[in-house]
Every structure is written in structure tokens, then in C-alpha cells.
Structure 1
């Protein structure tokens, strides 16, 4: 199997992670009483949308030569795993043992799916 589709899926997962982090940052950086326009036109929100857009383009390209039943779980799982780690380091979100166990299971699932493709 050509490695490029897998690289594209993982890059799409990274873009999804960055998009989510920017959305969280956009909410955390605004005052609680910020108006809808302030929320929609904040740099974090616009940046998050941009990264989501790149995510879709990369994923669509990967689907040219990869089964969606394999690609999507890898996209979702890798994005989830990256997001758990990034949110811990950037936002100080807790990372208790049950999250470590879940992350391990997600990564094991990604390995099995990737080998099955």
C-alpha cells in the first residue's frame, strides 16, 4: 500500500486537532459577555475554520485511494489522540489514568485498522 494516503489522513487529523485547539482558545480568550460577532470573527474561530477546511481537503485526497471504512476511524482516532495530549499541555486539561487507557486503546485500534488496509 502506498504510504501517501495514510500520511494525508494523519495530516488531516493534525489539522482537526489544531482546529479544535483554536476553537477552544477562541472561547477562552473572549469575555463571557462577548457578542456573537466577536465570537464568529475572532482570530481563533476563523483559524479553526481554516484548519477544518484543510482537514477536509486532505481527507478527500486520501479517499482517492483509501477505503473510507479504514480512513475515517484513523482520522477520528488520530485527531482524538493528538487533541488529548495537546489540550493537556496547552490548556492544562487533566490527563488521569483512564484517559491514558483510552488513548492506548485508540492508538491500538489505529494500528489494527492501518494494517488491515
Structure 2
């Protein structure tokens, strides 16, 4: 029994790490476009911010896949998504000055509530 609890704790920690990585990857993508001297595809592909995002997403895939070793995807992914939505909205506001007003707070609350209900 103790071993099962240990595995779940590790798996949920991996979900959290993957969600944080996903948020970081999304912010790196945004940064790649903000720093671009022009909107061309080549500029995007050669951007160090874009390359960093690809690396972070690659790590994210590995970490989340490992979490799925012992968690059902129907539970793990909604939690992953809720954390990711929350982080991107909050960090986008703090670091990029993106809007995070009452409508965004209510919407995020509804998303998180829906995910909690769905994953039970």
C-alpha cells in the first residue's frame, strides 16, 4: 500500500512538472513572436526562443508520458490542462502585461471547476 501511494505522489509530481513545462513552452512561443524582426516562417524557425520552446515541449512529452505509467489519462490530462491554463494566464499577465480581468478570472474558475468535476 505504501508503495502505491509513493508511485501516485511521484506521478502527480510529474503531472505538475509537465504542466509547468507546458506553460513555459507557451510563454517561450509568445516571446519568439514578440522578439521577431519580421513575421516570416524562417525567422520563427531560427528564433532561439522558438528552439527553446521546442526543447521544453520535448521534455514535457517525456515527463507527462512517464506520469501516465500509473495514472489514467482521463484524470491526469484534465489536471495538467487546468494547471497549464492557470499558469499561462497568470504569468502572461505578470510578465507580458496581458489582460487578466474579472472575465478572465471567472472563465478560468469555470474551466478549473469543470475539470475538477469531470475528473472525479
Superposition TM-score, scaled by structure 1 size: 0.87
Q: 16, 20, 23: which one pairs with 1:17?
A: 23
Aligned equivalents of 2:47 and 2:92: distance in 1? 20
State the match for 2:35 in structure 1. Answer: 29
SS at match of 2:36: coil
Q: Is the Cα contact below 8 Å between 1:78 and 1:110 reproduced in 2? A: no
Matches within 5 A, 1:1-117: 1=5, 2-31=8-37, 33-109=38-114, 111=116, 116=120
Q: What does the per-residue CA deviation read over 1:16-70, in whole Å, with 9 as the maximum and x for residues that have no partner?
A: 0000000000000012x35432210111000011111111111000000000000
Q: TM-score, normalised by structure 2?
A: 0.85
- Distance, in Å, in 2 between the alignment partners of 1:45 and 1:99 is 27
Quick check: 2:82–2:115 contact (8 Å CA) kept in 1?
Answer: yes
The number of aligned residues is: 114
Q: Deviations over 1:79-117 (max 9, x none)?
A: 111000010011100111011112223344555567x4x
Q: Aligned-residue CA RMSD in angstroms?
A: 1.8
Structure 2, gaps ≥5 residues long: none
Taking CA–CA contacts closer than 8 Å with sequence separation of 6 or more, which of the two structures ends up with the larger relative contact order? Answer: 1
